[in-house]
Amino acid sequence: MDFDKLKSLAKTAADKTKDGIVKANDMRNKANQETKISLPASNSFSSATSIRKTIDGNFYIGPFSENPTLFSFAGFNYDGSKVIEKTMTKGRTSQQGRTGSVLGGAALGTILAPGVGTMVGAMAGANRKKKGKMDSVSTTTSEEKPGKASILLRDLNTGEIKTIATKLTQAEANNVQMFFMN
């Protein structure tokens, strides 16, 4: 092979590599100027959706693109999340029984008025206060279940409304509102 031909091929390959690196860096710089938000999947059969905001304030769906289909923000609906609180109590209670009080009251009632006095004395003894102690620990846990949300975007070319359905917690809904309102 001719040395000049090899040199020419190596220079062409190096130039193409350099051009590819420059183009990739330019694309990365443009992508870094945009902001994006990822919306969680609305169910287990769908995947997360990324929405990007251009430096002009328009939006598009998906990964970075130099020529995307642009949208404007048309609305946001959120049903709210549900907070479920669960309380678990663990512990033990030790009480002194009322057996002695019931028998003592019945005996006293029998002495004073046999028959009716026995029943009245037993009931009076049973109504005495319980003595005892209770050692317990309560733990309350809160869990937030995401609520239904939809984001409405208007296609700038056709004017059609595109609806993106998702499920969000309250914090995620606040982030979505801030993303579209700023």
Number of compact structural domains in the chain: 3
Q: Tell whether 3 and 14 lie within a shared domain.
A: yes
Residues of the chain with pLDDT under 70: 1, 27, 30-31, 93-132
Same domain, 9 and 48: no
Torsion of CA 20, 26, 27, 29, to 10 degrees: 140
**Same domain for 39 and 123:** no
Helices (H), 38-144: 99-112, 116-126
Domain co-membership, 160 together with 177: yes
pLDDT at 51: 92
Residues 163 and 75 in one domain: yes
Q: Which two tokens stand for residue 29?
A: 């710089």
Q: Supply the range of the domain harboring residue 89.
A: 84-142
Q: What is the rounded CA–CA span in Å between residue 27 and residue 22?
A: 9
Same domain, 158 and 75: yes
Task: Please give the DSSP secondary-structure letter assigned to residue 169.
Answer: -
Is the domain of 138 the same as that of 89? yes
Residues 10 and 40 in one domain: no
Looking at 82-177, which runs of residues are DSSP E strands?
Answer: 82-96, 131-145, 147-155, 161-168
Percent of the chain with pLDDT over 90: 29
pLDDT of residue 103: 54
